[in-house]
Chain A
């Protein structure tokens, strides 16, 4: 006899999520080290097995400090990290002082973008790495999708750093973060896309800075720290 399946049962399935709630992660997420951010991320941390896009312009904003705690966690698990075309030279002592295991940190920096994407795709699909960080200034939606497909289902943390102008492009990444400078030395994070209801508020994270913030630092900044680009009307973003 066929029994009717109630809607509630369907909704309770682990592979179904309602757009008004945060999705739960199939593979346990990795705590980002920022409680404020973890509370807004589906699964309570950086998702594994899916691409996370970080949009930031220039260097020095604190964009790396955001992922450093997660990268440091790789040491405990003895897993490798790979940097694909980092924007500048790596300063070994600084990375080491963040607790990064340099013995398990590999860097690939081919000169051609095509090779970089090949390396990134290969690294993601091998599933052998703990974290893959990829920097790309010119990457189109199809290439992002390829990376997302490569990482899907694996146990890897995948970050893609892109310039802010990419925010208007569609992206296959399941999580998209827009970074800007917050007040008092904080890092302002806007969640452009996540598996869950749209997050309209800006998160101000206390990322570690080389020195403590003092009030007189504020006068340096050209604009008031809500340097967040004017928020678009927050429609629910495309659900991946």
Chain B
């Protein structure tokens, strides 16, 4: 986003960024005055649907802090009373919330109070108050200007010569209700905790699919990371609130006409935003974009309930397991899935087919122990050996210590895997004391081959 920039509503500046504020543009400045103060300013029309989408994403993210969230058109309310102990106090929780929101590129005004209305008003007026009991909140609220009340009521109250909420509360309420309306007084009573204030809980979406419109087309994949962080944080919060995890999710990079889907996979179920980000970073760093990206969309199709886990007193095996998962997925994100694998045993007599590479995610079958000795290493393609005096030769004559062991299998395989084999295998010792696994090809044209090492 170019700077300075500001959002305009009805010909007046609603909100400017830091550069605009330095130029002297405050909310309420006219568009013409703003252009004069900062000629390079980018003015954007207010877009309520994008605001709502951003708040929705933030509400999902906030699931990582508390399960009870409520959305108003302009404020996000989190019920934190029940999770103060988990975070170790209100300051820690506020710090976590602030850090989380700022990491997603938003600025935030935070306030805490025992009533939702009170917290909302304290946040609007940027008091940054943290009130944990009713009396502290009352003190803070009474200093607030009457501008927090609905516009009509605040205008008439200012005509009476009142400026703060304390002034309003000193007046007899019955008479005041007749003049400014009962609703405003009820609003104040809710804020001060004298009337119950029930809010509808934010309902987390059943399926996670969150779009993000980018302010400008992005041509550099690495620059997408910052924007995508909003989506991954929202996913992490949403998963935490549902006590679920994902093994994979898809980030779609939408171009003007096409799209690039990025499927990110994880070694085990996870709801860890930091892990999402690390894997995403490795993928984006190695990605070349064909066309500029205009918007992003994050989809998590299969969500699985995460087994409950209590925090361990000491480091235990589960944290090590998590660390391994994180390590392996980081390696495969950077090096490519083909280059990071596990091996699994496959029931086949042909040596080439007895081992399979499986991805980290695949379940492996329990292996069986084989009776005949087999080499630890197998050559990708058997190495042809010379034959000197009727004996195989490799830096000197090879001595055949054991064999032959006939392996004849694969007639059904039309050359797709290893094909139909007929070989006589020997354990051989070379002149430099290396233990080799060699075979004589029984089919024409025959010959000796080195296939493995007993290392």
Contact = CB atoms under 8 A, between A and B. Distances in A.
B340 A107 contact: yes
A184 B360 CA distance: 41
B320 A88 contact: no
Contact of A92 (B345, B380, B453): B345
A61 B434 contact: yes
A91 interface: yes
B355 interface: yes
Contacts, number: 179
Interface residues of B, number: 58
B86 to A, nearest CB: 26
Given A94-B374, A96-B345, A107-B342, A221 B455 contact: no
B367 A102 contact: yes
A80 B360 CA distance: 12
Contacts of B396: 222
A36 to B, nearest CB: 19
Interface in B345-404: 345-346, 351, 354-357, 360, 364, 367-370, 373-380, 396-399, 401-402
Contacts of B334: 115, 118
Contact of A209 (B330, B374, B454): B454
Interface string B415-432: 000000000000101111
Contacts of B357: 107
Contacts of B432: 58, 181, 221-222, 227
A88 B376 CA distance: 9
A105 B324 CA distance: 11
Contact of A97 (B342, B370, B452): B370
A91 B355 contact: yes
A17 interface: no
A122 interface: yes
A103 B364 contact: yes
Contacts of A136: none
Given A60-B455, A128-B320, A90 B373 contact: no
B344 A129 contact: no
Nearest to B355: A92
B365 to A, nearest CB: 9
Interface residues on A, range: 35 or more
Contacts of B342: 102-103, 105-107
B263 interface: no
B373 A65 contact: no
Interface of A: 58-65, 68, 78-80, 86-98, 102-103, 105-111, 115, 118-119, 122-123, 126-129, 181, 209-211, 214, 217, 219-222, 225, 227
Given A94-B375, A102-B345, 15 more contacts: A60-B436, A89-B380, A90-B377, A91-B354, A91-B374, A92-B354, A92-B367, A94-B373, A110-B339, A126-B326, A126-B327, A128-B323, A181-B432, A211-B427, A219-B399
Interface of B: 317, 320, 323-324, 326-328, 330-331, 334-336, 339-346, 351, 354-357, 360, 364, 367-370, 373-380, 396-399, 401-402, 427, 429-436, 452-455
12 contacts: A61-B435, A61-B455, A63-B455, A89-B377, A93-B369, A94-B373, A105-B342, A119-B331, A126-B327, A181-B434, A220-B429, A227-B432
